Structure 1
Amino acid sequence: MLLRHGCAVSEVEISPADLALMRSLSGSRLLIAPNHPTNCDPALLFALSQAADLPFYYLACRENFNSWFGLWGMIIERLGAYSVVRGTADRESFRMTRDLLAENGGKVVIFPEGEVYSQNDTLLPFQSGVAQLAFWAMDDLRKQGREGETIALLPVAVRYCFVEDMTVPIDRALTGLERAVLGRESMTGNSYDRLRRIGIAMLGDLEDEYGVKVDPAERVRPGADLTGRMELMKSVLLDRAAALTGFAFTGEMTLPERMRAIMNHVYEVTSDDPHAERTRYREQLHREQAARVKPLVRDLNRVANWIAVEDNYVRAKPTPERMADNIRRLEIEVFGEARLRGMRKAIVRVGAPIDLARYTETYRLSRRATVARCTDDLELAVQALLDSSGCR
């Protein structure tokens, strides 16, 4: 019911071979690492758990437990979810993850991108902290004298494919966006031409409102690649949020890393959870700071909505799924919600487990480099699964 009515997913496709692989791993310790294109992905992992008849635990952001006045938190906790407080060194959550992974046959689902990024067949860079948790659990096994036992990272890919003709819904969605952004319908050109006109106009409006200076010739040059302007707009929003909160970015951080860092910081500031060590006066100051910072959440959600987008995303592969990805982003920006819907099939693919035992020697010599290499191997494995599971 949740998949059909909440996610517009009519079918979940899991191959018999992948189910056989999962069942063969019933006694293995697994950190299950899927991509995260939509908010419906946890339900697909639960469907995989049911189909393979294997219980999973799920690491979820603390704020997810507050939905429906806490009722949603009670439900997902009973289904195996536990929380992590973003923006903090949540030692209790880290400890729980390590303990669960060290259990015989323990299986924990963590989304290594850390964000819903709204692209059906590409990835955001994986966060190395996910693999690090698995290596820490391996350390725990060794400290318990269980040298011969191991943990594996399991790459999983989820992809959505429309099962109905989306020509009319896409045309209707573009017409609504044209009225809102351009002030008129613009039926000339194909769907991609219309999508691009809307995107260019929206980007120009954002640049004007935030005072971003762009060469006027670039704005009107036909066929100009918009990626540079889009990256600059994202940077301006992130730098603005950092300046207003007194947050400093460190080192050579990528845009996704900067976004995660400032979002975690803002979440920590705006969290309503009382702190046991704060005095009454300190709590008052904290609430005042939270009130000043909360308006920035809209800017940061705007960046998160567009973090993975480059100008050639649809042009490189103009599928209905990619068109829908960008249309939904535009709708969220303009209307505050994605309105385009169409029934989809969800494909879940499972890759070969990556046994951490094969990294043991290099991990002893250089922990950080080994964790980074393992993270890259995991990301490549998930992307390969996506590339081999195209919509038909």
Structure 2
Amino acid sequence: MMNGREIRAQPPLEFIPPSLNPIVLRSSQIILPLWLRWKTNIASIQADRVEILADLYHQFQQGKIRFLMAFRHPNTEDPYAMVYLLWKLLPQVAREQGISLQIPTHAHFIYDRGIPLWAGEGIGWLYSQLGGTPIVRGKMDLMGLRSARQLFAEGRFPMMAAPEGATNGHNEIVSPIEPGISQLGFWCVEDLQKAQRSQQVLIVPVGIQYRYVTPPWKEIETLLTQLEIETGLTTLQTSEASDEKILYQRLYRLGEHLLSLMEEFYREFYHQTLPQPKAETSQLDTEAVLSIRLQNLLDVALKVAEEFFVLPPKGNFIDRCRRLEQAGWDYIYREELKPTHNLSPVERGLADRIAEEANLRMWHMRLVETFVAVTWYYVQEKPTAERFAETTLLLWDLVTRIKGGNPFFRPSLGKQRVQMTIGEPISVSDRWHDYRQNRRQAVATLTKDLQMALENTIATN
């Protein structure tokens, strides 16, 4: 199922061109506070060092710089936080600092072309009207890259994008970021030089973190109980919902049980070999063993999908997920199904069959995509309500996917405060000489530095 519909073969995904509509932008700005209140878990949004962003916008509007905001992506509600930052907090701080900014303070943005497939076609229209441009992950999307590149160098507003590529569900872990943002930065420098323009090109890291207004210990215990029942475990009652030691034992037991179920699932029905490392006596060793088992399981899940699509297991888990996603889309969105082509009913039926098969194989990839950033030490080393909640919700995602439900509609554990941090801008222009000497190395170095910059925005207290 995709967005509640039966999977059938379809024509190729069309590019959705950005088409900024001032009326839609203004309407969205008016609706945003009500949307945040009634449709999200966000209670408040605050940001540090917004004066840096105000100065950058002033320089941008003076024609001195071009820049892209690279924001952390722990949560599906991150876009709301970003536009609140730009539409509400930025103008306010600019006024306080005596910085004159032209209104509206907005940004073009890059989004995953797959979002409208599960969120609805209306989202694709809205993103287009707000000046967003789509990108197809996992392949050389020439049209999408060309559009993003053009907006970076020539767009009315700065750019913003999430270099992690997808949400990872963790406030205090940054997933390995993808090199695309760094490459776009160097392309922008190149395009400006060809046009004999002297603007500097910058990438600005933006941190986003969520904290519960009230620690949701009771809600976490309730969700754990639900998951225990759904996975066939006997529920362990706690005397206090916030008894961290017992809650951790329950969370660990649930995770280990699900891991065992999935290991047996792949052994029995997909004939996969999963090594069983032996746990030592200490709890630390047990945690290490569980982490190894999880990594082995994720590898096997990807191999099951890769064998179907005849793809080599090349690169890290994220690289493999992106290639599998594109392979699946190639089976579902078919060139021969364009309106100009005629297929017989039998050919159409076969195309639908392979689309259904592809979607089933992509299910394995979605499991890995959800758990690629999970580590069992995350809760153990700092048993906060946030870390308990994040890990429990990821396990809920897994159970929901197994049951055939939609993991994008998570249960709410309570209202949250959003804390944003503007990091120090990274000059891409200053690295142009390095890029000309060795492009691949320059992109890799910039990507590594951006990764560290995003990690530095994380507050761990």
Q: TM-score over 0.5 for the alignment? A: yes
CA contact (8 A) 1:30 1:105 kept: no
- What is the correspondence of 1:330-345 to structure 2 with a 5 Å cutoff? 330-335=395-400, 336=405, 337=407, 338-345=410-417
Per the alignment, in what secondary structure is the counterpart of residue 225 of structure 2?
Answer: helix
Q: Within 2, Cα distance between the matches of 1:255 and 1:220?
A: 30
2:79 counterpart of 1:42:
yes
Per the alignment, in what secondary structure is the counterpart of residue 200 of structure 1?
Answer: helix
- Any stretches of 5+ residues in structure 1 without a counterpart? none
Q: Structure 1, residues 91-122: CA drift from partner, whole Å, max 9, x if none?
A: 22211111111127641111111111111111
Q: Which residue of 2 aligns with 1:173?
A: 223
Per the alignment, in what secondary structure is the counterpart of residue 456 of structure 2?
Answer: helix
Selected match of 2:41 from 8, 16, 30: 8
Per the alignment, in what secondary structure is the counterpart of residue 142 of structure 1?
Answer: helix
Per the alignment, in what secondary structure is the counterpart of residue 190 of structure 1?
Answer: helix
Q: Within 1, Cα distance between the matches of 2:293 and 2:266?
A: 13
Q: Which residue of 2 aligns with 1:350?
A: 422
2:313 counterpart of 1:249:
yes
Selected match of 1:207 from 243, 247, 263: 263
Q: Which residue of 1 aligns with 2:50?
A: 19
- What is the correspondence of 1:56-95 to structure 2 with a 5 Å cutoff? 56-66=107-117, 69-95=120-146
Shift of 1:209: 0.9
Distance verdict in 2 for CA 1:376–1:291, change over 3 Å: same
Q: TM-score, normalised by structure 2?
A: 0.78
Give the partner amino acid of 2:237.
M
Q: Within 2, Cα distance between the matches of 1:69 and 1:198?
A: 33
Q: Identity of paired residues, percent?
A: 25
Distance verdict in 2 for CA 1:14–1:76, change over 3 Å: same
CA contact (8 A) 1:30 1:101 kept: yes
Q: Within 2, Cα distance between the matches of 1:83 and 1:346?
A: 26
CA contact (8 A) 2:45 2:418 kept: yes
Q: Within 1, Cα distance between the matches of 2:330 and 2:266?
A: 26
Worse-matched range after superposition: 290-299 or 194-203: 290-299
Q: Which residue of 1 aligns with 2:433?
A: 361
Q: Within 1, Cα distance between the matches of 2:139 and 2:352?
A: 18
Distance verdict in 2 for CA 1:108–1:77, change over 3 Å: same
Give the partner amino acid of 1:310.
T
Q: Which residue of 1 aligns with 2:356?
A: 291
CA contact (8 A) 1:29 1:105 kept: no
CA contact (8 A) 2:163 2:177 kept: yes
Shift of 1:216: 7.9
2:452 counterpart of 1:380:
yes
CA contact (8 A) 1:35 1:111 kept: yes
- Any stretches of 5+ residues in structure 2 without a counterpart? 1-33, 92-104, 239-244, 268-272
Per the alignment, in what secondary structure is the counterpart of residue 386 of structure 2?
Answer: helix
Q: Within 1, Cα distance between the matches of 2:185 and 2:425?
A: 13
Give the partner amino acid of 1:204.
S
CA contact (8 A) 2:216 2:414 kept: yes
Q: Within 2, Cα distance between the matches of 1:78 and 1:349?
A: 27
- What is the correspondence of 1:138-153 to structure 2 with a 5 Å cutoff? 138-146=189-197, 148-153=198-203
Q: Within 2, Cα distance between the matches of 1:132 and 1:44?
A: 26
Q: Within 2, Cα distance between the matches of 1:44 and 1:364?
A: 36
2:274 counterpart of 1:237:
no
Shift of 1:261: 2.1
Shift of 1:370: 0.4
Q: Which residue of 2 aligns with 1:124?
A: 175
Distance verdict in 2 for CA 1:87–1:124, change over 3 Å: same
Q: Structure 1, residues 283-320: CA drift from partner, whole Å, max 9, x if none?
A: 84654432221111221111111110112111111111
* Root mean square deviation of aligned Cα: 2.5
Give the partner amino acid of 2:131.
G
2:365 counterpart of 1:309:
no
Worse-matched range after superposition: 65-74 or 178-187: 65-74
Q: Within 1, Cα distance between the matches of 2:139 and 2:178?
A: 15
Q: Within 1, Cα distance between the matches of 2:308 and 2:281?
A: 33
